[in-house]
Amino acid sequence: MTNQQDILSSVIQSVKLDDANDTLIILDQTLLPNEKVFLELKEMEDVWDAIYYLRVRGAPAIGIAAGYGVYLGTKQSQAATYDELYADFLKVKEYLASSRPTAVNLFWALDRMDARFKKEAGKSVAEVKAALHEESELIRSEDEQICKNIGEYALSLLKPGMGLLTHCNAGTIATAKYGTALAPMYLGQERGYDFKVFADETRPLLQGARLTAWELKEAGVDVTLICDNMASIVMKEGKIQAVLVGCDRVAENGDTANKIGTSGVAILAKHYGIPFYVCAPLSTVDLNTKTGDDIHIELRPSEEITTKFYAKPQAPEGVQTYNPCFDVTDHNMITAIITENGIAYAPFEESLPKMFKNNK
C-alpha cells in the first residue's frame, strides 16, 4: 500500500454538462489518442450523432449522455402544460433510443428520466425541466461511486503483481470516472499493486489501442498493447492471471454482450484456466433479457473494417463485410460478475437479482 493518492484526480471528464450554457461537453473519443477535442452539444440531434458515431461511447457514458440529451431536448420544448411537455419528452426519448441498440444503459437512462418526469406530475413546466436537469446530473454523479465500488470488489479478487488482460475500453472515459474493468487497475495503482496490464487492441475500431492503452499509460499504469490475435500466446506464456472486461448488457442468466471479440477471449481464458471477470454496473444488468439470444447485436458500417484508421484501404474495394459490433459471452465462461453491490457467481439467475435487492 504505497502511493496512496487519487491518480484520477486530474482525469479528463469525458461527458459533462456546462450548466451555465446548458451545453453537453463531450471528449471526442474518435480522435484519441492523437487529439483531445471537446465538442459542445446543444441539440438532441448532436447527442444522437455523438452516440451513433462513438464520439461518446462505453455503456455507462452512453447512458450519461442520453440522460443529458433528453434533458436538453425537452428543455427546448415550448409546451405550456405538463401533458404537452410529456408528449415532447416522449419524442426526444424515442429519438435518442434509436441511436445504438445493444448497451442497455441507454434505455435504462431514458427510462429513469421518464420515471422522474412522472414523479413530477402536476408540477409546472419549469419545475419539471429543473427536475430533469437534476436527474441527468444524478445519473452522472452516481456512476462515479458505482465504478469505485466495482473497482473495490474487483480488487478483492486480485493479488499484487498479477498480469491482467482486458478487451476494448471499459475505462474512465467510458464512464463518469474510474471505469468498470479498469477501476481495479487504477485503485491498484494507487495502492502499489504493480499490475501488468495487457490491452487487446480491439479491432476494428481499436478502442483497446487508442483508448485503454492511452488512458492507462497517462495514469502511469504498466500497460502492454497486443493485437487481438495475441491473447492466446500471452495466456499460454503465463503472463495473465485474470481477465477483466466491461459489458453492454448482461442477461438474467449471466450471458454477457460486450465488444466483439470478448467471447473469444473468454473461451481462451477457460482453456488456460484463467478467471474471467465481467465488471457490470447494475444499470447494465437487464433482468428483462432472459438470455444472450435475446440481445440485439448492433451491426456497423463496413468501412470500419476496410478503411477507417488507415491511410489507404486495407481491403479490396466493394468486398463484402460482416461487422457485428458486440458478441455474447456464454455465462458458462464467466467466473464472476462484479457489480457495485457485490460479486455474483453462478447460477447467475439466482445471484444477479440479489444484487438489486442490496440497492438502498
- Is-contact 318 193, C-beta < 8 A? no
Span of 119-127, 136-144, 241-249, 311-319 interacting with ligand MRU by CB under 6 A: 241-249
Encoded one letter per residue, x for contact with ligand MRU by CB under 6 A and - for no contact, window 88-107 reads: ---------------x----
18 catalytic? Reply is: no
Q: State yes or no: residue 146 binds ligand MRU (CB under 6 A).
A: no
Determine the straight-line distance between the first and last CA of the chain, rounded to whole angstroms: 31
Among 26, 50, 58, 158, binds ligand MRU (CB under 6 A): 58
- Sheet with 342-344, strands from edge to edge, namely 222-226, 196-200, 163-166, 242-245, 276-279, 336-339, 342-344
C-alpha 9/C-alpha 1 separation (Å) is 18
Was 59 annotated as part of a binding site? yes
C-alpha 143/C-alpha 39 separation (Å) is 21
What is the smallest separation between the CB atom of 94 and ligand MRU, expressed in angstroms?
21
Among 16, 55, 57, 210, binds ligand MRU (CB under 6 A): 57
C-alpha 145/C-alpha 127 separation (Å) is 27
Which among 155, 157, 165 has a CA at the least distance from the CA of 189? Answer: 155
- Is-contact 246 221, C-beta < 8 A? no
Mind giving me the DSSP string for 271-301? Answer: HHT--EEEE--GGGEETTS-SGGGSPPPB--
Which among 140, 141, 164, 144 has a CA at the least distance from the CA of 154? Answer: 164
Among 24, 27, 47, 60, binds ligand MRU (CB under 6 A): 60
Q: State yes or no: residue 207 binds ligand MRU (CB under 6 A).
A: yes
Encoded one letter per residue, x for contact with ligand MRU by CB under 6 A and - for no contact, window 259-298 reads: x---------------------------------------
Q: State yes or no: residue 59 binds ligand MRU (CB under 6 A).
A: yes
Q: State yes or no: residue 225 binds ligand MRU (CB under 6 A).
A: no
Q: State yes or no: residue 175 binds ligand MRU (CB under 6 A).
A: yes
Q: Which residues form the catalytic set?
A: 248
* Sequence ranges of the binding site for substrate: 57-59, 100, 207, 258-259
**Which residues form the interface with ligand MRU (CB under 6 A)?**
54, 57-60, 103, 168, 170, 174-175, 179-180, 207, 246-248, 258-259, 325
